[in-house]
Chains A and B, each alone.
Chain A
Amino acid sequence: MPDRKFVKGNEAIAMGAIEAGCRFYFGYPITPQNEIPEYMSAHLPGIGGTFIQAESEIASINMLLGAGATGARAMTSSSSPGISLKQEGISYMAGSQIPGVIVNMSRSGPGLGGISPSQGDYFQATRGGGHGDYRTIVLAPSTAQENYDLTMKAFDLADEYRNPVLILGDAMLGQIKEPVVLHPYQGKDYDRDWILTGCAGRRPRLIKSLYLSEGELTEHNWKLHQKYQSMKKDVMFEEFLLDDAKMVVTAFGSVARILKTSVKMARADKMQVGLFRPITLYPFPEAALRRISERIPSCLVVELSTGQMVEDVRLSVNDPTKVEFYGRPPGSIPSPNELLSEIKKAYEKLIGC
């Protein structure tokens, strides 16, 4: 019998983190992600871990930076306005090549916005967010199960690339309650020849992001760039009913999940449509999407924003003029019927009949 638990999406993240060996959590309260710090505060002390409710999001991310520099598996979580505050630390972690996992169970903005689900943080997550020419790996789950699985994966990717990894969910994925199958973490050992432990038996180590000497920063940035390019081998995506499709619907996260139902409804209405779901938003699965677009040029992008990921889709496909977009500001979650009618409109326009 698999070990199934009926849990909230936020709890699944916390459980995945602990299973992956995360023993340090630093956070600050913000809706709709509070179940993560609450779970961590209850479970970490009993297993020798550390939970700190910090004075700010800024302090949280810098505690993550400090713990990460010692090689500890550590995590912070927040929601959109709090993630904005963490950008400084994320930039420093990227520049200093310090691993860490940052969860954004995003809400709607701009500003204080609201607590409803939104996909308006796509740009912030995939374009760096903080200052400087850097990238973070961004994972976009669409179920509580994926919250659990991808959180474990996030720790591996962070250690492999010595880079911050973001998990971009939303209020729906945080608050939804559904069964999650638990399974043991199976990771490997990562290079630890850079962590700070005190210099006993070796030369002192320095972890920094300041490079002032002529040419030094250029070289550092090229090195980072090569690392970001190498992340492409870890691209993840899902294809759903694409074999005979005449139109591909592209979406991520909770919207992609709703669209699966709409796509099946469209199939029942004799429309040959399928779904392409990026799971890594950075690196974006551009090569896979291009290959698909060579076979199926017609594409509809759906987002719970007025259009962010659609830019990456248009950059990836063969013919951007065949890309339609449906998006709207957050406030409520689109129903399968609402999205079905948008599929119909795009299908009629691009395919005819």
Chain B
Amino acid sequence: MGCLTWLFDRFASEPTRSFMLWRDQAFSYAWLLSHIAEWNSRLDAADVTPGTVVAIEGDYSPEVVALMLALIERATILVPLTSSVEVHKEEFKQIAEVQVVIAIDAEERGSISRRATEVTNELTRSLISKGDPGLVLFSSGSTGKSKAALHNFMGLLEKFKTRRHSMVTLTFLLLDHIGGINTLLYVLSNTGCVVTVQDRDPDHVCAAIERHRVEVLPTSPTFLNLLLISEAYKRHDLSSLKRVTYGTEPMPEHTLQRIHEIMPGVELLQTYGLSEIGIMRSKSRSSDSLWVKVGGEDFETRIKDGTLWLKARSAMLGYLNAPSPFDADGWFNTGDAVEVDGEYIRILGRQSEMINVGGQKVYPAEVESVLLQLPNVRDVAVVGEPNPITGQVVVARFNLFEPEDVGAFRKRMRAFCRDHLASFKIPAKIVIVEDEQYSQRFKKMRRQPAMAAGGTTNES
């Protein structure tokens, strides 16, 4: 029997329950089992054997989930590719040495095609020889070239064997993201239900929460900022929500407080995970606290020079296209700067995004949190810029609601910051931009230099 027998047994015990709401239609666990069986025959017919590297092209849908499970059970190496990485698809297929592509179109029809590729990567080959299923995830590439992390799927599955609460969960992250995979496996292993949305703007998401009585919303700080700005929460009944989880980037403190104010009964939980390591179990000190305890049975943590290091049982095997980031003892440097208070940590931001002003450290998230409270500010990204006097200076790129004279804006921005930030953290330079500053994964983009951001100053 395959590696998912325990999971399929759980599905079989709840045949009439829905595992997914897709385009407002419910799909049951019985449906899922029968479609997994159908895929099995098709994969047999197409001679997709264990150890084949298979790319799945398609967004979140019942058929994609059935196919994924059939491929895991068959011990293939999965490479999920969604439309959000459209421009990189060919590059990603080459890096992962994809041999079979299965595309699921908008009508849920699948087509299988082969590529003449030989698997040469040593990591992939050793996983194949073990006979275990694999998963290749690409980092978002904000630091330059995307890195391909190869996981042994068995390690990722292990923690889901323990039964936990099943709840109606809205999926926000896609299946090419460790968070999206984690949410799906969590829901399926507890025979819960995932609610998918076609459009991820706050009003569509809130409408889906209201219509399907969603209980859990896993999301990102950027989305929660958009929720506040759009005031979509005022137009929809969100009373079914029990838990909102947030991760992938540091949470601005004031965003968390505002969300806690508008949904006081909802548990707000910070999650922590990386494509290289998986998602850790975590516990926020309280709903309005940024202090979080991370770890769980399968993880060890330590702090070295203010940076979080992790060791995980379910860590990836390595990168397919970069040197191993693990040290000799298997520890991984997350690159996240943290503060420590007993068992709790607080994530300050990426070490690489830290701005050094005359020797003093500035983390963008803290400054952004203050700047977001300024009237007429819709969004802001804080970055460092070289400066011959202080090494670097703090630059803030703003999106405003209404056009405003840049000089007048700068003046009131500085006056406001003086009461809320140490002087070296106050932006020395501001740019007003038109383009949105978050990615398709609703994560803040700080990387592009201020000049290349299409920046315009509103000065006449």
Do these two chains really belong together in a complex? no
Which residues of chain A have a CB within 8 Å of any CB of chain B?
none
Which residues of chain B have a CB within 8 Å of any CB of chain A?
none
